[in-house]
């Protein structure tokens, strides 16, 4: 006997299943009795004018119908691809390459339309699910029946899609004219290539021989290239324009800075910030190049955000899997890129007082370290130490932090002993030429040393100024932290002076510049604290004048950087150091002719300590 129909509100046409799921019930047409959602789930579509008992039970595996539907669709796709493969083979054997290309084009067009229709159905049904969608993917290079059933959320990297064409048009519009491009490429140095190698290759590949054989020219790909390849070349051009030689370029139709910023703006707008453009090795390289550009500009917060975006993309595409390459000539190691992402994220997070994006420690596993040269091991272990410091900083400040600090300090000491003694020889650029492999390798060694001493400063900085600054409250642990910070600050400043005296115009060593500013601030704060407690024994009294002389030399380097290329970051750093020197001289009762008689109070934001006010009475 037919079920008795219920009365429903006029105009209501919805099934019980869609009502239970609280989604819209959409029918393909007025003549259809089964809604699109129930079609996709292969579930009975029972209208609400019939008893609810006829609807499927709420219990059981609610995703079973969806899984069956996906499997059926995949089987249809496989059969379609087999038929298309046979058709392509037949066309190839009868009509030659042109027919083969046409057959492939029609096959991909058919597959793309099917994918769009499936996506539209999914969006219309809006069914919430906890399972990742299963997507059919095919290689852009395959011409046969090869297929994959692995999920691939970035299978849209095809040059014939409308979004890809739009992105390409905007990127091409941002390129300089041919004469300007030729001029920039002709004057390009090896530094952009070295930057790319440092971001994409393990330390074992950063040798004198490998660097000497690296292609030193920056090239533009053909105009019909994929937007990701265009963006990569544009970012390399932007890095070239950041070099000191770009300031001396003649014959350009517009200022180099205008070209540089337009190139970066186009690359970031249409490629590096677009999730649909990710999924290949080159797309991740583009994000890393953007991070290097922002770091060179001194925009630490922007650089931090870019590397955090790179970390997100890397986690989404799973670097453990083989990645697609748009250009067969691309040489980039996914694991090396992941290490560089985490390395930069942690050091920028420490400098900015922000949380880290990943607590991954696998990069310092014994198996990984065994395949690294001494410098590679050193950098990986420093990255692990940075993770521990960030984890400590995320917790509330307690007296027990001294134990954690001592533990990390002991680990850092072990790291320093794990490299050959020759690693710690004084850094010197005597006889070296800017842009040569030996100069780049010496700069890498300097940056690693500065990173080590910078971590020591950041580790002990919260303990150099106790909350209660009375003489009786100063413990031996506070004194140890203070002396460690003083020693590490001197080491950082000495290396900063050596590097910037050799190359004041380079923008490729920004972390060293910011660590130098941190070291200058720390050293002056310690001297100010010693001036405040005059009744105590000042163990730094004999080093005060030599420390001020070193800070004065660092100040001269910052001023040289400002004068060489209008470096705003160096100008701000110089002004801050100048004010701190004036405050310290005022506290010591000595008038310094080098410092202006400006404000005798300074407010600084120190990670984990918050804002501290520095006056002649001390911090």
Structure tokens at 199: 């971001």
Domain boundary residue, one of 360, 393, 413: 360
Q: Phi-psi region for residue 251, left (φ > 0), alpha (ψ -120 to 50) or beta? A: left
Higher pLDDT, 131 or 319: 319
Are residues 117 and 172 both part of a single domain?
Answer: no
Give the C-alpha separation, 104 to 100, whole Å.
6
Q: CB–CB of 327/597 below 8 Å?
A: no
Q: How buried is 317 (Cβ within 10 angstroms: 0-12 exposed, 13-18 middle, 19+ buried)?
A: buried
Written as one string, the DSSP assignment of 181-246 is HHHHHHT--SHHHHHHHHHHS-GGG-SHHHHHHS-----PPPTTS-HHHHHHHHHHHHHHHTSGGG
Pick the last residue of a domain from 326, 360, 394: 360
Distance in angstroms (rounded) separating the CA atoms of residues 301 and 307: 10
Whether 58 maps to a domain, the answer reads no
Helix %, strand %, coil % of the chain (to 5):
60, 5, 35
Q: Mind listing the pLDDT tens digit for each residue in 280-295? A: 999 999 999 999 999 9
pLDDT the model gives residue 62: 47
Cα–Cα–Cα angle for 380, 385, 389, nearest 5°? Answer: 145
Q: Please report the pLDDT score of residue 127 as a whole number.
A: 35
How much is the pLDDT for 401? 81
**Same-domain status, 114 and 193:** no
From residue 588, alpha-carbon distances to 300, 545, 582 in Å are: 34, 11, 10
Handedness of CA 532, 534, 535, 541 (dihedral sign): positive
Give which of 445, 427, 456, 439 is closest to 375, Cα–Cα: 445
Residues 349-358 have a mean pLDDT of: 93
Quickly tell me which residue has 């997507």 as its tokens: 135
pLDDT of residue 110: 43
What is the C-alpha separation between 141 and 488, in angstroms, rounded?
A: 54
Asked if residue 183 and residue 118 are part of one domain, the reply reads no
Q: What's the pLDDT tens digit per position in 539-561?
A: 888 899 999 999 999 999 999 88
What is the per-residue pLDDT across 410-468, written as a single tens digit (0 to 9) for each?
A: 999 999 999 999 999 989 898 888 888 999 999 999 999 999 999 999 999 988 876 55
Domain end marker among 336, 360, 384: 360
| CA angle at 87 for the pair 81 and 90, rounded to the nearest 5° | 140
Residue 615 is classified by DSSP as E
Q: Residues 56-61: what's their mean pLDDT?
A: 46
The verdict on 169 and 118 lying in the same domain is no
Instruction: Kindly state whether residue 405 falls inside one of the protein's structural domains.
Output: no
Specify if 230 maps to a domain: yes
> Given this model, what pLDDT does residue 58 score?
46
CA dihedral 600, 604, 606, 610 (to 10 degrees): 100
Residue 432, domain member (yes or no): no
Residues 2-19, mean pLDDT to the nearest whole number = 68
Output the CA–CA distances (angstroms, integers) from residue 291 to 204, 261, 490, 552, in the order listed: 23, 14, 29, 32
| Average pLDDT over every residue of 581-592 | 74
Burial class of residue 163 in the structure, from the number of CB atoms within 10 Å of its CB (0-12 exposed, 13-18 middle, 19+ buried): middle
H or E stretch at 575: helix 568-587
Q: How many helices (H) and strands (E) does the chain have?
A: 21, 2
Average pLDDT over residues 575-594: 76
Banded pLDDT at 313 (limits 50, 70, 90) = very high
Number of domains forming the structure of the chain: 3
Share of the chain above pLDDT 90, in %: 38
Which range has the top average pLDDT, 137-151, 208-222, 512-526?
512-526
Backbone torsions φ then ψ of 534, nearest 5 degrees:
-70, -30
Report the distance separating Cα 521 and Cα 525, nearest Å: 6
What's the rounded mean pLDDT across residues 145-167?
Answer: 51
The answer to whether 485 touches 457, Cβ cutoff 8 Å, is yes
Domain shared by 193 and 306, yes or no: yes
The per-residue pLDDT of the chain, averaged, comes to: 78
Band of pLDDT at residue 584, cut at 50, 70 and 90: confident
pLDDT at 60: 44
The answer to whether residues 188 and 119 belong to one domain is no
Residue 550: alpha-carbon gap to chain centroid: 34
Under the phi-then-psi rule, with left for phi > 0, alpha for psi from -120 to 50, and beta for the rest, what region is 298?
left
Name which of 297, 298, 319 is nearest 310 in CA terms: 319
- pLDDT score of 377: 96
**Same-domain check for residues 172 and 108:** no
How do residues 89-133 score in pLDDT, each as one tens digit?
Answer: 444 444 443 443 444 344 344 444 444 444 444 434 333 333 333
In terms of Cβ atoms closer than 10 Å to its own Cβ (0-12, 13-18, 19+), residue 192 is: buried
In a domain, 204, yes or no: yes
Cα distance between residue 306 and residue 301, in whole Å: 9
| Burial class of residue 141, CB neighbours in 10 A (0-12, 13-18, 19+) | exposed
Structural element, H or E, at residue 614? strand 610-615
Say how far apart CA 430 and CA 432 lie, in whole Å. 6
Between 563 and 262, the more confident residue is 262
| Host domain of residue 345 | 162-360
Within this chain, do residues 220 and 325 fall inside the same structural domain, yes or no? yes
Tell me which H or E stretch contains 603.
strand 601-606
Among 75-84, 184-193, 536-545, the least confident range? 75-84
What per-residue confidence (pLDDT) applies to 79?
54
Say what the pLDDT of residue 540 is. 84
- Judgement on whether residues 302 and 194 belong to the same structural domain of the protein: yes
CB 298 within 8 A of CB 569: yes
Distance CA 380, CA 360 (A): 11
pTM: 0.72
What is the structure's pLDDT at 312?
Answer: 93
Of 276, 253, 461, 442, nearest to 353 by C-alpha is: 461
CA 228 to chain centre: 17
Q: Which two tokens stand for residue 213?
A: 């054989």
**Helix or strand (DSSP H, E) at 605:** strand 601-606
CB within 8 Å of 318: residues ≥ 6 apart: none
Longest dimension (CA), the chain: 107
Q: Is residue 190 part of a domain?
A: yes
Same domain, 88 and 225: no
How much is the average pLDDT of 322-341?
90
What is the SS3 assignment for 67? helix
The token pair at 447 is 């940056």
Q: Could you tell me if 201 and 276 lie in one domain?
A: yes
Statement to judge: residues 116 and 195 lie in one domain? no
Mean pLDDT within 36-44: 78
Long-range contacts of 5-9 (CB under 8 A, 24+ apart): 5/49, 5/50, 6/48, 6/49, 6/50, 6/51, 7/49, 8/48, 8/49
> What is the DSSP-derived secondary structure letter of residue 595?
S
């Amino acid at each position: 006997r037919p079920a008795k129909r219920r009365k429903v509100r006029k105009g209501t046409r919805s099934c019980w299943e869609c009502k239970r799921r609280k989604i819209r019930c959409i029918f393909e047409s007025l003549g259809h009795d089964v809604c699109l959602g129930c079609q996709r789930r292969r579930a009975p579509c029972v209208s609400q004018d019939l008893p609810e008992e006829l609807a499927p039970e709420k219990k059981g595996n609610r995703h079973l119908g969806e899984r069956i539907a996906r499997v059926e669709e995949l089987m249809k796709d496989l059969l379609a691809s087999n038929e298309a493969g046979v058709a392509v083979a037949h066309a190839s054997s009868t009509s030659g390459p042109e027919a083969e290309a046409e057959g492939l084009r029609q096959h991909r067009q058919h597959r793309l339309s099917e994918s769009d229709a499936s996506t539209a159905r999914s969006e219309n049904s809006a069914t919430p699910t906890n399972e990742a969608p299963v997507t059919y993917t095919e290689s852009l290079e395959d011409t046969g029946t090869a297929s994959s059933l692995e999920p691939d959320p970035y299978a849209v990297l095809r040059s014939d899609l409308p979004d890809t064409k739009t992105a390409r048009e905007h990127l091409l519009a941002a390129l300089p004219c041919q004469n300007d491009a030729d001029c920039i490429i002709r004057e390009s140095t090896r530094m952009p290539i070295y930057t790319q190698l440092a971001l994409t290759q393990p330390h074992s590949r950063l040798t004198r021989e490998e660097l000497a054989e690296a292609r030193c020219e920056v090239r533009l790909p053909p105009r019909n290239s994929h937007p990701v390849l265009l963006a990569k070349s544009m970012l390399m051009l932007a890095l070239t324009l950041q070099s000191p030689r770009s300031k001396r370029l003649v014959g350009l139709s517009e200022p180099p800075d205008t070209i540089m910023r337009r190139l970066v703006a186009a690359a970031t707008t249409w490629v590096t910030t677009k999730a649909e453009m990710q999924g290949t090795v080159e797309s991740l390289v583009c994000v890393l190049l953007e991070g290097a550009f922002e770091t060179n500009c001194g925009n630490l917060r922007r650089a931090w955000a870019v590397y955090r975006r790179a970390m997100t993309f890397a986690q989404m595409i799973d670097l453990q899997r083989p990645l697609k390459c748009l250009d067969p000539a691309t040489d980039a190691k996914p694991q090396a890129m992941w290490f560089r992402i985490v390395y930069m994220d942690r050091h920028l997070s420490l400098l900015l007082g922000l949380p880290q994006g990943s607590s991954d420690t696998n990069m310092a596993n014994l198996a990984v370290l065994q395949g690294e040269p001494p410098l590679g091991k050193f950098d990986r272990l420093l990255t692990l130490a940075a993770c521990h410091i960030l984890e400590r900083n995320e917790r509330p400040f307690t007296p027990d932090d001294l134990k954690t600090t001592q533990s990390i300090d002991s680990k850092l000491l072990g790291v320093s002993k794990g490299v050959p003694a020759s690693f710690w020889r004084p850094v010197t650029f005597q006889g070296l030429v800017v842009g040569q492999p030996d100069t780049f390798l010496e700069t890498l060694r300097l940056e690693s040393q500065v990173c080590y001493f910078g971590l020591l400063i950041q580790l002990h900085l919260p303990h150099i100024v106790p909350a209660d600054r009375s003489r009786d409250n100063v413990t031996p642990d506070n004194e140890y932290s203070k002396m460690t910070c003083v020693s590490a600050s001197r080491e950082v400043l000495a290396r900063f002076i050596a590097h910037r005296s050799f190359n004041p115009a380079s923008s490729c060593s920004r972390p060293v510049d910011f660590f130098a500013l941190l070291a200058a601030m720390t050293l002056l704060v310690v001297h100010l604290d010693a001036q405040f407690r005059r009744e105590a024994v000042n163990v730094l009294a004999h080093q005060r004048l030599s420390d001020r002389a070193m800070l004065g030399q660092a100040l001269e380097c910052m001023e040289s950087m400002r004068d060489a290329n209008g470096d705003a970051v160096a100008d701000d750093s110089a002004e801050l150091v100048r004010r701190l020197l004036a405050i310290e001289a005022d506290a010591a009762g000595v008038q310094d002719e080098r410092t202006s008689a400006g404000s005798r109070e300074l407010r600084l934001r120190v990670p984990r300590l918050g804002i501290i006010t520095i006056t002649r009475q001390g911090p």
